[in-house]
Amino acid sequence: MNLLNPLVTALARLLIFPGLLFAVPAAWFFLWVERKSVALMQERVGPPFMQPFWDFVKLLGKSTPPRRGVAGLLMRAWPLIAVSAAGGAVGLLPVLPSSGGFEGDLILLLALLELPSICIIAAGFSSRSIFGEIGSAREAALSVSYNIVFLLAIVSIAASQHTFRLEALAALPASPLHWLGVLAILVCLPAKLHINPFSLPNAEQEIYAGPMTEYAGPELAMWELSHGLEWVAGTGLVATLVAPHVGAAWIAACIFVAISFAVVLLLSALAAATARLAIDSSVRFYWQCTLIFAVLAVSSALFMRFRS
């Protein structure tokens, strides 16, 4: 019985909430909110509410280009791996009080959050398209740059709370390093989600769809779903680090959804208000952020040490 309860809790988190039963509709909803918000800020009508869902269904009904050999198998595998990783990352989020988890699950979450980006890089090179390869090269350069800030932020938060367990991070009172890390994560999310000003890998005006140029049909539908699940996982990570675990489970769930929605609106406003940066400017921006954040993190750690 003692072993059964954690297993049931883990399956409920993965399959129901905040897992697939919640995350898949939320992915389509967040994609619509992002597109609609940008459209309204640019004084356009924007897509109807169900458009991301119908786009997904339409792509499922289309055929894919014939591919042979190992390259064809890999191109079909990458989007499935990306969807599985993003869905697993959402399922790990400690939204509800006493939601379980295990020591070190933060490290697993970081690995799952990074897998979709790795799959995009591999997909572009597997396609043997010049546009896909350029997009993958941009994604690789950008990923190395922002992930330094992202990983440094997560490690700082974990170090300030002396734990790598997600539920403990969400439950413990926040420290100055905690809030500094949350701010750094917010700075990295536009690049991780490929929105302006860091939408370099899929710049349609320059390289068509970048790594996705050779994709169509159900495979492209899986990429769109993976992108939506990344929205849910990225904004959900911020929500779990910001929202206190107080009150009943339904209150915690409502707070989680509200903060995630607010982050989507914030990032959408940023995307609408900015233009796409060049690759050298983007890389330079995150290297500068790395230096600034490192100095602030060390300063905050020293302040906390002397204060205690």
Residues 125-162: pLDDT tens digits?
888 888 888 888 889 999 999 998 998 888 888 888 88
Is residue 23 within 8 A of residue 90, CB to CB? The reply is: yes
> What is the secondary structure of 46-101 as a DSSP string?
---TTHHHHHHHHHHTS------HHHHHHHHHHHHHHHHHHHHHHHH---STT---
What pLDDT is recorded for position 270? 92
Average pLDDT value for residue range 170-190: 86
Q: Which amino acid is at 58?
A: K
pTM of the model as a whole: 0.92
Q: Where would I find the beta strands (DSSP E) of 99-151?
A: none
Contact of 207 with 135, CB cutoff 8 Å: yes
Q: Taking a C-beta distance cutoff of 8 angstroms, is the pair 187, 195 a contact?
A: no
Q: Which residue's entry shows tokens 């790990």?
A: 92
Going from N- to C-terminal start, the domains of the chain cover: 4-303
| Most confident range, picked from 82-86, 153-157, 202-206, 278-282 | 82-86
- Local confidence band at 3 (pLDDT 50, 70, 90 cut-offs): very low
pLDDT in tens, 95-131: 877 666 778 889 999 999 999 999 999 998 888 888 8
Listed residue (20, 143, 162, 30) closest to 93, CA to CA:
20
Give the per-residue SS3 of 266-281: HHHHHHHHCCCCCHHH
Task: Give me 216's structure tokens.
Answer: 């169509």
pLDDT at residue number 1: 42
Ramachandran category for residue 254: left, alpha or beta (phi over 0 → left; psi -120 to 50 → alpha):
alpha
